[in-house]
Amino acid sequence: MESLSGSCRFGLWHIQVWWNGDVVHRVRFSKESLAGIVPVAITRYLAGKATDLGSLRSAAIEEDFQYFRIYREVQKIPYGSTSTYGEIAGKLFTSPRLVGLAMKRNPTPLLVPCHRVVAKDGPGGFTPDIRIKEDLQAMERKTLKKAGRIDGNGRFT
């Protein structure tokens, strides 16, 4: 099957995606556009019109044996929610630093939603810009609020 690539906008950033079929191999945040198409599920998600990425799969979970358990656990964090590096580490009997390293090396953010993993005392890190993480979290909260699934205080209803 032919590999595809392209980008779509999210605020001031271009979300570059390399994929084929239902498998996404890489997602990158860039100031530069990349000619081509991205899966419709990603454009719908970034527009706040979908709360999941449909049947898309992350190649990292299937190929990265060092971090696949962490990636799978992060995928369980519900849309609009967050979990700390320490909470993820505790579930997997590993260290928060290893969770942070896995998030830093995550080749498919959005599919392995590292923007939902935060530090116990703040947002934690995000490459290339922490504002992307904050904007993704805000977009998810806004989508849930519009759908009536979260109240004005940020609590799930």
CATH number for the domain spanning 135: value is: 1.10.10.10
pTM here is 0.90
Task: Supply the range of the domain harboring residue 37.
Answer: 4-146
Q: Is the dihedral of CA 42, 44, 49, 50 positive or negative?
A: negative
pLDDT tens for the chain, 157 residues long, are 678 999 999 999 999 999 999 999 999 999 999 999 999 999 999 999 999 998 999 998 878 778 999 999 999 999 999 999 999 999 999 999 999 999 999 999 999 999 999 999 999 999 899 999 999 999 999 999 887 765 555 555 5
Give a yes or no: residue 152 inside a domain.
Answer: no
DSSP 8-state code for residue 78: P
Catalytic residue among 17, 61, 99, 114: 114
* Token pair listed for 95: 């260290």
Name the β-bridge partners of 150.
156
Q: Is 114 in the active site? A: yes
Give a yes or no: residue 114 inside a domain.
Answer: yes
